[in-house]
Amino acid sequence: MKDVENLKRSIDEISRKLTKLGTELAEMKFSYKVVEKPSKEYWNERMNEFRKYNEKGLEYYNQVYAMMNLINKEESQMFLLRTSKFRQLGLELLEIMQKIKKNPSITDPRDKQQSMWSKDIKNKITEQSNKCLNHEREMNTSFRDFYQNELKKILE
């Protein structure tokens, strides 16, 4: 009985952290939507916003992992792999943003004479943004399912 109480207390503590981090993430209002702005300042700011969002997201998903690990080690390990992929996808997105920041005219929608390289970079940022968004959705769905199937039973 004492183990169940300790488990509930640990879950409650992590839940409070998750609520706080989730609120902070929501307040950032970050969007993966690609905006075609040919300005170094914009891309510099965009990279900074994404770094902050990604770091906070990693904090959030590490707490999700910690909660899952209390209940189901195997499932938590799978989630840890997803968290690692979230980090990797974010680093790849930052790399693409860095290329655009160095040459922001790549994103100028008025430029009809874009090189293949420019078009390739524009396609890559859209693809990578979509990968990040979809991966994050999958992670959130995975956690929601875990919550419904595992956590609710313990908390009731």
Residues 107-138 have pLDDT tens digits of 877 776 777 888 899 899 999 999 999 999 99
Where are the chain's structural domains?
A: 2-155
Angstrom distance (rounded) from CA 76 to CA 69: 5
Angstrom distance (rounded) from CA 4 to CA 44: 48
Instruction: Summarize the chain as % helix, strand, coil (round to 5).
Output: 85, 0, 15
The two three-digit tokens of residue 73, written as one number: 């080690």
Identify the pLDDT of residue 5: 87
**Sequence-distant (≥ 6) Cβ neighbours of residue 53 within 8 angstroms:** 25, 28, 30
Q: Which amino acid is present at 87?
A: R
Q: For CA atoms 24, 26, 28, 33, give the dihedral sign.
A: positive
pLDDT in tens, the chain (156 residues): 678 889 989 999 999 999 999 999 999 999 999 988 889 999 999 999 999 999 999 999 999 999 999 999 999 999 999 999 999 999 999 999 999 999 888 787 777 677 788 889 989 999 999 999 999 999 999 999 999 998 888 877
Whole-structure pTM value: 0.91
Q: Which amino acid is present at 112?
A: K
Percent of the chain past pLDDT 90, that is, above it, reads 75
